Structure 1
Amino acid sequence: MREFHAICRPGAGQSPIEVWAPLAERVDVEWAVAGAGPSDPSTASRGAQREAMTAAGDGWWRWEPPADLLADGGALDYAFVLDGAEPALPDPRSAWQPHGVHGPSRTVDTTRFAWTDEGWAGPRDGHGVLGSVVYELHVGTFTPDGTLDSAVERLDHLVALGVDVVELMPLAAFPGRWGWGYDGVDLYAVHDGYGGPDALHRFVDACHARGLGVALDVVHNHLGASGNYLSRFGPYFTEGHHTPWGVAVNLDDAGAEHVRGFLVDSVLRWFRDFHVDALRLDAVHELKDSSDRHYLAELSDAVAVLAAELGRPLDLVAESDLNDTMMVAPTSEGGRGMTAQWDDDVHHALHVALTGEVQGYYADFGGGPERDEVGPLAVLAKALGHGFLHDGGHSSFRNRAWGVPVDREALDARRLLGYLQTHDQVGNRATGDRISAVAPPGRQAAGAALYLLAPTTPMVFMGEEWAASTPWQFFTSFEEDWLAAAVRDGRRAEFGSHGWVGDEVPDPQDPETRHRSVLRWDEVEAEPHARVLRWYTACTALRRVLLGDGPTRLADVQVRADDTAGWVVLEHRPAGRSPYAVVANLSTAEGEVPVEGAGAVLLAWDLERTSVGGSGVRLPADAVAVVALS
């Protein structure tokens, strides 16, 4: 793989600027000395110079900047002109887009940052993501300012909560100031609105100083519609495969080795130059690849080599709806080599059990005549105890068999991420309402305990821990009217088919939509939010005591449920550790839940009305307790 260009390295002078443009017969670079910040005018208004680049073979072009321009921290704004066509285009491997996704790129010397994390061994002293408490965070709505630097001011809250790894939603440069980040177009750049690359350096360093790991969400399966110039440079996409976003990223057609290298290089850069600890890979089932060696396996092996070089764990977490643990099997055994994968079945089952909603993809999770399970609590028991609900059986939502059975004896349960909420599951609701808007606090507490104290790796969505009153809605800030209209109309049509009136669906382009989604930190210490926060904090603390850092097995878990009585019990008897049970009463009345060998109450949502005796645990309605087992 080629060295990352446009990044100065100490002792090696300035790096050449290179670009892969096999479709061009001539490439010029337009450049100017950069000013002090992103508010500076464009290169054109400062008399940008233009010079021809030199063909370097295999579709690559190179230009050596004048020797003195990048000395002492200097930077260039630059863009490429292909075969004389205007306008000049940003670098596909741009490190920074301070003028927006359509403007020139800027060189960045990532080696100049003064790191203070020399002793950092990785999350939980080198244990990595597996078993960590992960916290999904959107920079643009985590604080009113919506920057990485302002997010640093709230890191102590995450430490107190018991978080191990902060997962940042995509930072790759995207059009406009505000957005979710899944329409990014510059996969090497840090969105300027969040503070640019230097701000990410500061954020990661601050996290490591507090013992927090950092995961970054990256999107390799598609690029956004505005500012995506890759197809002008080379065969980055292929008509051989299609995805929900159009033609697929080229992983197996002519020129694919360069495209795969482009993606792998970007991943290694986040780990090496920004000290990130893990990446979450978006919708990997849409990475269409018929090669003998799948792209994900190639990526996994490349990351393993870098991890050995750096001497700390580097993790890859896949979002996959395939329900196949082949995703987390070693590449040496024919797997994709991912460290872990998201498990939407756990979310769906929890959501249906707590809310009763059964529309759309929730339909299967309500049980019914198509399943042996009599109701949603029995479905929840299946998902929690066996990893997936869809493990080879029929999915009515997909109208086909789906998934693969899980080997409960062999699978380290930590390789599955369980959660009650995510950005998708909140933000893709018509009004972005959270679980706390549709379920009482005791029910949310039960759902939280079931996934936070399960042997899988838990993930909390920002604000969930205090039952934030703010919704989290879908928002954009596109400059193109056609794109804004297409997104707005598409959202309204999608939810209109589910019975929502168009005016009820927030306008993604309205600045108030983003504003409504910003967390209100004044709620944290106010009731009833403070009680929910105390519960989440107690659950994460108890998790450390009960589960420790070692591997866990689904085979050590037994989950029982009674839909008629309205209770569910997760019993975990890990080898070499104390057994325990999470006991939830989701009925409308107080009752006793049968738990054989129930002992001391370790944690309870309503301690005064929780008791152990006879043949089980007595709980009020919509309550949960954790008890020791004999």
Structure 2
Amino acid sequence: MTPSTDETCVAEGPVSPGWRLNIGGMVLPCGAEFRVWAPKAKKLEVVLKAEWGERLFPLREGEKGYFTGIIPEAVSGNRYMYRIDGALDRPDPASMFQPEGVHGPSQLVDPRGYEWRNPVWHAPALSDYIIYELHVGTFTPEGTFEAVIGKIPYLLELGVTAVELMPVVQFPGDRNWGYDGVFPYAPHNGYGGPEGLKRLVDACHGAGLAVIIDVVYNHLGPEGNYLRDFGFYFTDHYRTPWGDAINFDGPWSDEVRAYFIDNALYWITEFRADALRLDAVHGIYDFGARHFLRELARAVRKEGESSGRRAYLIAESDLNDVRLITEPQRGGYGLDAQWLDDYHHAVHSILTGERDGYYQDYGVEKQLVAALQENYIYSGQYSMARKRRHGNSAAESPSKSFVVFSQNHDQVGNRMLGERLSSLISFESLKLTAGLIILSPFIPLLFMGEEYGENNPFLYFVNHTDQELVAAVRAGRREEFNDFAYRGEPPDPEDMATFEASKLDWRRRTGGSNLTLYRFYQRLIGLRKSVLPLRPESGREAELVGDGLVLLKRRSGREEAICLFNLAEQDREAEWRLPGGWVKLLDSSGEEWGGTGKVLPDQLGPGRFVMRGRSCGVFQSHDRPISGM
């Protein structure tokens, strides 16, 4: 049976004004349109599965390897596969839903089928983001989008303003970090599928929370990765730690780039995501004249201008390359922000004493001052871990272009035993760490559970069906820790117990030091929101004022604040030289915060003062500017 070519049906379209999905199975008022890029195929047919049985519909071959057609009989909810050259049945590379997993058929989804309860939403500016990163599968006992909705009141009580979801696209099995996803357009069936994700975003918006979705454009997972059967999505010119690189600059790359740019627009438009976190962009290899990231940023910004909904792009990168966040007219890619690993490494190595692996490049207090002042620590200096010079200068970039954290899925989960900081450092150090992140001039990110000192680890887990692949994952996990001082066998990523051990234990939050730590996080977040100089746009100046004592000075107009951090384990005495009267807003060593007792005075003036070991304090000036700022 030949598909229809009803142009009126196409014109009526299914999706939001100003943008239309270029590929996939798209439900129309008069059936469904199918469009797939398959330059490797000589013939392509839709195998449509419905209540009346299974039927074949051939698609027409067009330009640049696209096959298209409209099937009037198709309706939302029908399942389908593409038959390649009469022999190979494969799911849709742009499937919106995989109800039977990565190897099963795709399902047609009508975007008009969900009625948004909060259609008018004004997201906070990026500088107002206080991010809470979570993994849907381990954040709650149920491990679903719906269960996350039930925790929204908790997140509001904590004070965060944005929820960052680790990758939620279809991966093999029922447990995975999400970075083994193989259907970039399909929210995972076990989490609740596309409708479940829309309900979560809608509920977050209704509560005033922005939503960030973590997307992976540097690789696809190994199991269920059928894209290479259709087209030239991958290249053997480059290799990533996860396998073949995606083809962003070789022959046929125009359509590959369009596939991933459309994917970004899909999350922003159809799911109303407020920002995308771009995983490991150092694994995106593009040596063309117009870098993929630059084109992506341009497309996202253009969509924002058209729709009136600004969305942000936040990159993860280990390159310390300021081009990521530099405007295109100055030779950059124009992304909005990037994760600042340097800051994490400095804080972690100082407070834990760890010096193996990449931590060998850190551990010096003046590095923390450099990061507070100039963003990157490594801006061209020689790195012992890398055996070469590393980075360039980001000193001219605003602090609101950087996201900082003391824990995240990588820095916890990529430890062999997945230990959180609560298992590595003292309670006083945990409070100090919280202060270093939330009071910093950057955008803070919290990793689920850190706010109450969760003790359960966050381990690496998978659920593959291919036993050879399982064996390879286990071997690779062992090799990963050769540069670190770990002994013994890592927990088995395939074991269900590894996944279960990684779930949050919500009972811990309700009492003792866990509750105290939670309230301390609330207080820090409250200060960040209410004290104007503590915002990212404010002026900043950092210095060492004693052995282990870091002074961070902030100013907004004539309002000023001071943050003091004692990184040493012992009490420290120093000279206070700033003029004026300074009123104390917080002392982490206070008994109300489970500390040993305050020694910082309620008001600071010229003279000497004492500060408890591993503590932080906040003061606000009420009468005169800080000289030199």
TM-score calculated relative to the size of structure 1: 0.91
Q: Does 1:178 align with 2:175?
A: yes
Q: 1:571 aligns with which of 553, 557, 572?
A: 553
Alpha-carbon distance in structure 2 between the residues aligned to 1:492 and 1:353? 27
Q: Which amino acid aligns with 2:598?
A: R
**SS of equivalent to 1:305:** helix
Alpha-carbon distance in structure 2 between the residues aligned to 1:498 and 1:387? 26
> Which residue of structure 2 lines up, in the alignment, with residue 169 of structure 1?
166
> Which residue of structure 2 lines up, in the alignment, with residue 488 of structure 1?
474
> Which residue of structure 2 lines up, in the alignment, with residue 379 of structure 1?
367
Q: Does 1:510 align with 2:495?
A: yes
**SS of equivalent to 1:609:** coil
Alpha-carbon distance in structure 2 between the residues aligned to 1:388 and 1:446? 21
- 1:109-161 CA distances to partner (integer Å, 9 max, x unpaired)? 12221101122011x2xx2x234101111101000111010011111111111
Q: How big is the shift at 1:29?
A: 1.5
8 Å CA contact 2:422–2:455 kept in 1: the answer is yes
5 Å-filtered alignment, 1:52-67, equals 52-67=58-73
> Which residue of structure 1 lines up, in the alignment, with residue 78 of structure 2?
76
> Which residue of structure 1 lines up, in the alignment, with residue 594 of structure 2?
none
Alpha-carbon distance in structure 2 between the residues aligned to 1:85 and 1:594? 79
Q: How big is the shift at 1:265?
A: 0.5
> Which residue of structure 1 lines up, in the alignment, with residue 413 of structure 2?
427
**SS of equivalent to 2:510:** coil
TM-score calculated relative to the size of structure 2: 0.91
Q: How big is the shift at 1:246?
A: 2.7
Q: 1:523 aligns with which of 496, 508, 511?
A: 508
- 1:553-591 CA distances to partner (integer Å, 9 max, x unpaired)? 6x62223264xx33222222x231522222122333333
**SS of equivalent to 2:354:** coil
Alpha-carbon distance in structure 2 between the residues aligned to 1:167 and 1:180? 13
Q: How many residues align?
A: 592
Call closer, same or farther: CA 1:196–1:54 in 2, change over 3 Å.
same
Alpha-carbon distance in structure 1 between the residues aligned to 2:86 and 2:608? 78
Q: Does 1:605 align with 2:588?
A: yes
> Which residue of structure 2 lines up, in the alignment, with residue 372 of structure 1?
none
Alpha-carbon distance in structure 2 between the residues aligned to 1:447 and 1:524? 18
> Which residue of structure 2 lines up, in the alignment, with residue 624 of structure 1?
616
8 Å CA contact 2:326–2:332 kept in 1: the answer is yes
Q: Does 1:559 align with 2:523?
A: no
Alpha-carbon distance in structure 2 between the residues aligned to 1:117 and 1:196? 20
Call closer, same or farther: CA 1:584–1:164 in 2, change over 3 Å.
same
Moved more, 293-302 or 54-63: 54-63
8 Å CA contact 1:130–1:339 kept in 2: the answer is no
> Which residue of structure 2 lines up, in the alignment, with residue 37 of structure 1?
none
8 Å CA contact 1:220–1:287 kept in 2: the answer is yes
Q: Which amino acid aligns with 1:55?
A: E
Runs of 4+ in 1 over 6 A off after TM superposition: none
**SS of equivalent to 1:558:** strand
Moved more, 459-468 or 543-552: 543-552
Call closer, same or farther: CA 1:364–1:496 in 2, change over 3 Å.
closer
What are the ranges of 5 or more consecutive residues in structure 1 without an aligned counterpart? 35-45, 367-375
Q: How much identity, in percent, do the aligned residues show?
A: 37
Q: How big is the shift at 1:362?
A: 0.5
> Which residue of structure 1 lines up, in the alignment, with residue 627 of structure 2?
none
Call closer, same or farther: CA 1:561–1:451 in 2, change over 3 Å.
farther
What are the ranges of 5 or more consecutive residues in structure 2 without an aligned counterpart? 1-19, 591-596, 625-629
8 Å CA contact 1:301–1:331 kept in 2: the answer is no
> Which residue of structure 1 lines up, in the alignment, with residue 522 of structure 2?
537
Alpha-carbon distance in structure 2 between the residues aligned to 1:593 and 1:133? 32
Alpha-carbon distance in structure 2 between the residues aligned to 1:322 and 1:537? 33
Moved more, 327-336 or 163-172: 327-336
Call closer, same or farther: CA 1:238–1:390 in 2, change over 3 Å.
same
> Which residue of structure 2 lines up, in the alignment, with residue 227 of structure 1?
224
5 Å-filtered alignment, 1:118-517, equals 118-122=119-123, 124=124, 127=125, 129-366=126-363, 376-408=364-396, 411-495=397-481, 498-503=484-489, 505-517=490-502
Alpha-carbon distance in structure 1 between the residues aligned to 2:576 and 2:191? 50
Call closer, same or farther: CA 1:99–1:221 in 2, change over 3 Å.
same
Alpha-carbon distance in structure 2 between the residues aligned to 1:498 and 1:455? 31
**SS of equivalent to 1:241:** strand
Q: How big is the shift at 1:550?
A: 7.0
> Which residue of structure 2 lines up, in the alignment, with residue 370 of structure 1?
none
Q: Does 1:33 align with 2:50?
A: yes
**SS of equivalent to 1:507:** coil
Q: How big is the shift at 1:551?
A: 5.7
Alignment RMSD, CA only?
1.9
Moved more, 589-598 or 354-363: 589-598
> Which residue of structure 1 lines up, in the alignment, with residue 561 of structure 2?
580
Moved more, 255-264 or 130-139: 130-139
8 Å CA contact 2:39–2:66 kept in 1: the answer is yes
- 1:503-559 CA distances to partner (integer Å, 9 max, x unpaired)? 3x1111111111111011111111111111111111111001224797626x62223
8 Å CA contact 1:317–1:338 kept in 2: the answer is yes
